[in-house]
Structure 1
Amino acid sequence: MDPVVPFLLSSGGHPHNNQGGKTGDIDIPPRPTLWAVPSPMVLKGADVILRCQGQLGTDGFQLWKDGELKEERNECWERAEFLIRRVDDLRDARNYSCRLRQRSLWSEPSDSLILVVIGVLPIPFISISHNFLVYPGTTVTISCELSYQASSQNYIVALLESKSLKPLQLQSPAGVQAKFSLQYVRIEDAGNYRCIYFKKTAPYTGSIPSETVKLAVRGQLPKPTLWAQPGIVMAPGANITLWCSRPKLSSPKTVIFTLWKIWSQKYILQQISTDPWTRFLLPSVRPEDTGRYRCSYTESSAPFGQSEFSEILELLVPGSLPKPTLLALPGPLVKPGTHVTLQCQLPPKSLLWRVTFSLLKVGIPQYLQSMKSVDTSADFPLLSVRAQDTGNYSCIYHGRMDPYQVSESSDVLEFWVTDALPKPSLSVWPNPEVTSGTNVTLQCQGPSWSISFALYKDGKLKTTGDDGQFFLTHVTSKQSGNYSCSYHTGTNGSLWTQLSDPLEIIVRVPSNICIILSCAALFLLCLLLTALFCHQHIPIAGALHGGILRRFFNSPCLSQGFCLSRRIEVPKEETLDTEVAKERPRKPLVPTAEDPQGVTYAQLNVKTLNQRQSDLKETDTEATIYVNVSLA
């Protein structure tokens, strides 16, 4: 191992406690340990967590970058995590350290950690001295050759574990090549390897990782991989598939896959397969299915040659414990680039302690962050939030002892990252088009943290309310128009959002009212014609001959008592009365002024005969109608 940057390996391993010291009578807190998760070798644009490990009694942490304070955090816990999002080779490929505070005293800085941002320089070439499968105790050499464009004097070469990119060995290259020796390999050395090279001075930029070389050691089968579909956090009643896949063997073989649950007395399921993978179905999961799972496989021809166990997969099925509360600090609505803390709190009077909190986002089956805590809450940092961080969040907690109990999910927290408040929406019940007299409800919908709403009609403020519901009772046509609404969040009471899209409300008059109004108008017209007729002394015979009076008395608006009787059509020469009417001299229909009563009368006689026609060949004569109308 090259001694140039030994802290890369120690920082990438497990944390350890350093002893504190004394200055006079003052106890200096012990130095913390800083390491990177998942590795100090980070692809450009990826996220990395820098963990500063202290001990109980710590109440504050600082992260330093190139000797300058980058971030300070007050946390009453033995460890702090500093998240760096989307690492950049010029800004973030630097030297880091951390300090802790106990009772207002700061410790000495931790050992330095170099953060190498890889994926910038050209890719190196990797090779292995032996075939894929070797015997235990064999010495294997892995060579890494730099790109011809690189000068070996300015670079360090690192051998990496392929998946996590954790550095295993470091060397200064001899020429353009570095050779890593794996002496007396053991079963634990089996796996996949890659290599990179990076600059010795800041900014610590590195190459693209090389291709992968595989090493297998005889005596035990390589361990499989276990993962869950659709996710590891599922609601009760959901179906979950656990997939177990093994590395490709030297020749196709039939193997027996086995699914285990830790602390169970026997395996859960078994499957026989010739494929490199198999699936285990867990139908209708319950909270009792919460736990830690792993899988293994054996060759069917050699049942005692079992593989290593897979990495542990933790499955969470909420519902056994009361739900927690999730808060956003400073608030659920922030601008891009803001640092936000989502705080998950245990329910009041909870008897649990030393629990694990997990942060969830709706639509993502995996938890975003998980944190162990001895307090009643856990803080999940979201640094330099972007629009993509907008969404609905919740959290859960569970105990650390088996059998696990997992809480219900907290109420959903609606979180927005935007420069402007989202526009509300307006809906109506029962319909946007109603008849007069109907009750109408308008519902204005905004984010869950809206505290006040306003309703507008044709762009003018109509009313305000707290729940977004507005009631219009016994509407009339005057309430037709275009409605819209807005809301505000309480951060600034005078700041309202833009208006929702307009919603047109149409109030129509019922059709039976139109009929009544039409009849009333026709009735008034009839009365007007009657008064005009009496006042002008219109000749009855002429009116009847022209059909005016017939149409007048056929009006549906006249009462039955107004028209004494009528016959629309009478056959000519049908009765003797008709002939008599022709021969009889006509008398004046209107009395003369000498009438002693001083009253004007109009006499109309209607006579029709019911006798059948005696001769169908005879022609009809025009009917004569008499009607008596008395006007007081």
Structure 2
Amino acid sequence: MSVLVVSLLFWGLSLGPATKAAVFLETRPSLWAEAESPLEPWANVTLTCRAYQGSLDFQLFKDGVAQDPVHLFGVEHQFHLGAVTSETQGLYRCRTGMGDGWTEFSNLVEVSGADSLAPPLLSAEPVSWITLGFNTTLVCQGGLRGVTFLLRQEGNDEFLEVAEAPKDTKASFLVHRAGNYSCSYRTHAAGNPSKPSATVSIEELEAPPPPALSFKRETSAFLRPGVRVSFLCVAPLSGVEFQLQRGETKLLLSMSSTSPDRVFFHMDTVAPSESGLYTCRYQLRGGHMAWSVDSAPVELQLSDGTLPAPVLELQPSSSPAPGELVRLLCHAPRAGLRFSLEREDKRGPRVLGRLSPAGAVAHFELRDVSVQDSGNYSCVYVDPAPPFAGSARSEPVELHVDGPPPKPKLRPLWQGAVTPGRDAVLRCESPLSDVTFELLREGEVVTSPVYPATGPGADLVLTYVGPQHAGNYSCRYRSSWPNPLLSELSDPVELQVAGE
């Protein structure tokens, strides 16, 4: 006889701090399991697929393979599995359809065997840290309604907390102290707990981690006095108050927001004296939490264009071979100045670096150049002392690098054959920045373009793998800035599906 095991895994993109509080409409359906008896949950099982709105079609998938669709109008439909056997064990999702096509897949529900209960999913919301005046929540998510969830902290043999969910598939636990946590569930009081979830670490911090600060649109290194400047400060959680600082000075500026985890600070007419390093920070509304660590600084420099233009020199030549080191020397009339190197693109000059050398020449370096570095470069400087005068821009110099862009590398983030119904993640890496990645199978694009959140690569996900996903995959990258380019394909990676 078999035991029903249910674990629910959310499918979707991993959103970073800059996007995770964005408002969106959830359109995918939800899937859960219901048992006729909690004492014998394996004896008679039903999977319920609920649409986000009335639907004309419901379709169940098992181990990545579509079952016959059911055509009816309603908000939900029940798929009766009956007694769980080796034929009905597997990883299930569903989708719903209207006249304009199918929705994306629901969450994942696992139905497995009698020898063990599959683990639930444990996650921290909204963040995985606590600090003075702020606690976080651990959410234990399963796929079977009416179970009891158990929270355990590493180093403690007893369950820390127990929560019943008679009409739900999840339970929330408020966390007050740091540690490593896992959760499990049981179907009735005398039943054995499931396998534990993956461990979630909660860290205790003296101060909340820093937000991210950037300019809203400006890309030029030195702006003209009198222009409008907007700073964007993004926190890792919502419901906070923000503060902008120049050095140690707290600034009172007009603000606006498009989402509860971010704010825009507006400076309507900046003056040369407002040049400098800016940071932002946040705290929970009401002042019950300490101020966060300051963000990484953003430098604002203004130039009135009244000082003589510098001279920009390329070494060793303006047509280097791919992979060479190129030096760009910016010569000014005197020492004690602040320099910026810029490259022209379709939106105007974009800053590549800033230097404050001891002498009158700033040495900028481009290492391992490629075709992406081709373009027109110029430099400017400002006097960091009052009255903060600045130079005109140097005459541009053109850098031209021949050859195709470097080939990316693709590697699988799994070992052996992929279990049907699981996700397959492939990591595509490029030596170039500001690119988007695509995954291809036998020359056909199979994923939407992905821009990496951090680092030199991106994770390309094949969701809910079935036999139809087996084959050879490669990746490539493309860029529209500063020059349009498309890389060659990476070396292929073979995906094998277990049981095929």
| Common fold: TM-score over 0.5 | no
Higher percent of residues as helix: 1
The structure with higher relative contact order (CA 8 Å, sep 6+) is 2
* TM bucket normalised to smaller: 0.3 to 0.5
TM-score norm. by structure 2 comes to 0.36
When Rg is computed on C-alpha atoms for both structures, the one with the higher figure is: 1
